[in-house]
Amino acid sequence: MTATIAPRVRTLVLLLLAAAGLLLAGAGPVSAHAVLTGSDPQQGSVVEQAPDRVQVTFSEEVALSDDSLRVLDPKGERVDTGEPSEVSGTTYAVRLRDSLADGTYTVSYQVVSADSHPVAGAYTFSVGAPSATSVSVSDQTAGGGVVGALYGFGRYVSYAGFVVLVGGAAFVLACWQRGSGVRAVQRLVVSGWLALTSATLALLLMRGSYTGSGKVADIFDLDLLGDVLQTKTGAALVSRLLLLAAAALFIAVLFGAYDKREGTEKRDLTFGLAIGGTVVAAGLAASWAMSEHASTGLQPGIAMPVDVVHLLAVAAWLGGLTALLVALYRSPELPPDGTAVRRFSALAFGSVLTLVVTGVYQSWRQLGSWSALTDTRYGQLLLVKVALVVLLVGVAWISRRWTGRLAAPSAAKPRTEEATASATDGTDTDPAGETEGSASGNTEPADSKRAARLARQRAGARCPARPDRTAPVTTDRPRPTPRHRPGRPPPRPRRATPTPTRPVKPRTPPPAAPSPLTPRAPRSSLGSGPLLRPRGRSGCGTPIRTGSGCGGPCWPRRGSPWCCWR
């Protein structure tokens, strides 16, 4: 298998693997979510005097609520004041009541990590001496239960809607502009917008219960909804809804006015829609980046733009492929042409390269070591993701071959039309002559001879047919068509000489009887009628038609008509 790979490609792959290994080996360990790294009093310790407060330290900054830190006595009653505060960047504390009795106390925490996931846990410490009994905290995982399952399903639906919405619009603008008028593609993009909008609304309603009690009844609690709006995740969800309103306007223009434009107007509108659509898509992707893994940990200023590019590449690849499949199978009367298929193939190739680069950076940033791939839950999920990406790359390779086959008939169609046109004109398209000429090494004489032969064939095709000998013979002989010599301009066509026709003398109407009140016009010595003078000369009057008082016709003289003189 290695022997079939080109040497340059094999070297490039090895360099990429070595660079990825250096990146993963040179970074410190980073967890995907916040974890408890320290406490005061420490877990399982026994102190002689009751502390005035309890401190906990996490691996990253977390979001707290009034019930995020709770301290319970051996009877299960709360002994904290219920007002947790931030001591430092990742250290938080809650004050305790005075004069605590001896026994084992339980510290329970439930916070929201910077990547918007809830984190919960508990530990114990004792004052004086451990008690016989202690409070058992519920073993339910934070973010679990029915609400947790619904919230996770909503997240996947929102991702799928984003991919279909952005990828479908990108496929229409960048690959197949005629697709803006296809009903199947329109329904696909609109369904992606509806899925993303409905999922975002559901996540906003379930957010308070998801990070809190986990009860279904708390989903429609307005107080929890108000608390969610004040968090970073709530602000991201609200901004996503606002951007979806702008996306609705974008879809209306794309499938409305854009489909009716032609020529320069359509090109200008394509540029404007591409700029506006990129801004809206980047904003939607940033609503995830600002509230998830990229916003915490190492290099957040670089990680967030990288995460945005990563999401856009996923949408362009998978969403564009979905739009292509829908156009092929749901719109057989107007399928994409070969040009659209080739454009999408190039777009998919660039998207996969972008996914590889951004994915390697994100993996190095989150894991930091090879052991974290198997020791942490995030590493295990990352291995599953890598396997899925490999599977998708295999599918992409198959789809690339498939799209190449689709583009082949489209590319061969112009050649077939050209050959048909050449045969109609009498052109010899025998490839043997070309092969023979190229094989001999002297292509210039062969080309000149071939051009001369083709010119003679074309000239022969334009010659008139032989006259029928049975037809009556006329005195006018048809002039032969002059032959066109190669290398010389064709002769100019001769002008047709008009046959002189004898002018027909118009009939002269009888002269009208003169009125006794009307002065008679002066007579000419040449005959009856008024005095005639040439038109355009000095003293010529206004021309009058025959029979309207002229009394005679206008005789031509030297090619110019005469006019009647009043």
Q: State pLDDT tens for residues 236-264.
A: 999 999 999 999 999 999 998 887 888 88
Whole-prediction pTM: 0.62
CA distance 364 to 361: 5
- Model confidence over 370-427: pLDDT tens digits? 777 777 777 787 788 778 777 767 766 776 666 566 555 555 555 555 545 554 444 4
Q: Determine the distance from the C-alpha atom of residue 443 to the mean position of all C-alpha atoms in its chain, rounded to a whole number.
A: 47
Q: How many CA atoms lie within 13 A of 33 on its CB side?
A: 17
Per-residue pLDDT averaged across 352-360, rounded? Answer: 87
Per-residue model confidence (pLDDT) at position 232: 86
Q: Determine the distance from the C-alpha atom of residue 148 to the mean position of all C-alpha atoms in its chain, rounded to a whole number.
A: 33
**Cβ neighbours for 501, distance < 8 A, ≥ 6 positions apart:** none
CA distance 79 to 94: 10
Per-residue model confidence (pLDDT) at position 434: 42
| Residue type for position 477 | R
- Model confidence over 29-49: pLDDT tens digits? 344 567 888 888 888 888 888
Per-residue pLDDT averaged across 514-522, rounded? Answer: 50
**b/e 299-338 (16+ beta carbons within 10 angstroms → b):** ebeebbebbbbbbbbbbbbbbbbbbbebbeeebeeebbeb
Kindly give the interhelix angle for 320-330 and 183-211, rounded to the nearest 10 degrees. 140
In the structure, what pLDDT confidence band is assigned to residue 85 with cuts at 50, 70 and 90? Answer: confident
User: For all residues of the chain together, what is the average pLDDT?
Assistant: 74
Per-residue model confidence (pLDDT) at position 130: 84
Per 3-state DSSP, what percentage of the chain is helix, strand, and coil (rounded to 5)?
50, 10, 35
Per-residue model confidence (pLDDT) at position 99: 80
CA distance 291 to 283: 13
Hunting for tokens 């999920």 — which residue is that?
381
- Model confidence over 488-504: pLDDT tens digits? 666 666 665 556 566 65
In the structure, what pLDDT confidence band is assigned to residue 524 with cuts at 50, 70 and 90? Answer: very low
Q: How many CA atoms lie within 13 A of 515 on its CB side?
A: 4
Higher pLDDT: 477 or 338? It is 338
Higher pLDDT: 207 or 457? It is 207
In the structure, what pLDDT confidence band is assigned to residue 267 with cuts at 50, 70 and 90? Answer: confident
- Tell me if 164 sits within 8 A of 188, measured CB to CB: yes
Higher pLDDT: 113 or 504? It is 113
What are the CA-CA distances from residue 172 to residues 262, 287, 331, 339 (Å)?
Answer: 15, 24, 14, 13
In the structure, what pLDDT confidence band is assigned to residue 139 with cuts at 50, 70 and 90? Answer: low
Please give the angle made by the CA atoms of 204, 208 and 211, to the nearest 5 degrees: 115
Per-residue model confidence (pLDDT) at position 32: 54
pLDDT greater than 80 at residue 226: yes
- What phi, psi does 127 have (nearest 5°)? -115, 125
Q: Are strands 85-86 and 69-72 parallel, antiparallel or unpaired?
A: unpaired
Q: Enter the tokens of residue 266.
A: 């359509």
Of 180-189, 216-225, 324-333, 361-370, which gets the smallest average pLDDT?
A: 361-370
Per-residue model confidence (pLDDT) at position 12: 42
Domains of the chain are 36-127 (2.60.40.1220), 145-347 (no CATH)
